Amino acid sequence: MLAMLLGGVMGLVLGLTGAGGGILAVPALVLGLGWSMTQAAPVALLAVGSAAAVGALDGLRHGLVRYRAALLIALLGALCSPIGIYLAHRLPEKILMGLFSLLMMLVAWRMLRREAPAPGPSDHGSASWGQKNCLLNQQTGRLAWTAKCSATLAALGAVTGVVSGLLGVGGGFLIVPAFKQLTDVQMRGIVATSLMVICLISAVGVVGALRAGVVIDATGGAFITAAIVGMLVGRGVSGRVPARLLQVGFASLCLGLAAYMLYTAAR
């Protein structure tokens, strides 16, 4: 029952925030159920990836996913994820918990920063060449695939893959701000693309962990199922909750969990 409750809350937050909420999955398993980081990582990835798949399919249905960019990022993530998994099985538990706590603090800081709203009513942003590494073609609405754009997205995928394998997170907290900084895609397209990448990279990470001998038991299965249900509920009510309230609430939760994980690691 506790696993289902924690999974439901994680899925709800993921559905409300669009991306990044999956970072709560590992703390829920480590602090809530007493699992180790290496036990929690594959279950967290599978829960986050399954929930993200729901959002990604919805994004594809509405034509919001930049699927070529998502596939490139996921491909590099898949190639680099085993590096993170290798490190995760060799680093001490305290180091892993410390790294995860710092990561949560970074996510909270980015959430609390106030940013000016992006211009443009559609999924087409506005920027001039030289300001962004990847720009949309205003006639076709698709990304202009230059060498600079391809290299940028490939590098983003590599970093996301390593972090995903190391800490058991989907990578939305990296992909969303990076897309906002490096492209002129509007936010709804960024979130949909991020969810597709999270789904693909999480699947690769889970396969790698299972090959390394990690077993997902009935408790993990209950957590994953509840996360999917929570994701559906979160997406259904997300439009009724003020965005700034979501950001502040999520950031505060991240800071509290990060502090507790640091305290637990220090003990």
Mean pLDDT by 10 residues, the chain (267 residues): 86 71 79 84 82 81 86 90 88 88 84 57 44 75 85 91 82 79 82 84 78 79 87 77 77 86 82
To the nearest 10 degrees (0 to 180), the angle between helices 37-61 and 218-237 is 40
**Nearest 10 degrees: CA dihedral of 100, 11, 54, 15?**
-90
Q: What is the CA radius of gyration of the chain?
A: 18
- What confidence score (pLDDT) does residue 118 get? 46
- What confidence score (pLDDT) does residue 130 get? 47
- The dihedrals phi and psi of 183, each to the nearest 5 degrees, come to -130, 170
**With contact defined as beta carbons under 8 Å apart, do 156 and 178 qualify?**
yes
Distance CA(21)–CA(48), nearest Å, equals: 9
Give residue 62's Cα distance to chain centre: 21
- The dihedrals phi and psi of 169, each to the nearest 5 degrees, come to -115, 155
Buried b (16+ CB within 10 A) or exposed e, 68-104: ebbbbbbbbbbebbbebbebbbeeeeeebbbbbbebb
- What confidence score (pLDDT) does residue 191 get? 80
Q: pTM score > 0.75 for this model?
A: no
Q: Please, which residues have CB within 8 angstroms of residue 229's CB and are 6 or more apart in sequence? A: 8, 11
- What confidence score (pLDDT) does residue 22 get? 65
Tens-digit pLDDT profile for residues 127-186: 444 457 788 777 777 888 888 889 999 999 999 889 888 887 767 778 887 888 888 788
Distance CA(240)–CA(16), nearest Å, equals: 10
Q: Please, which residues have CB within 8 angstroms of residue 15's CB and are 6 or more apart in sequence? A: 21, 51, 55, 230, 231, 232, 233, 234, 235, 236, 238
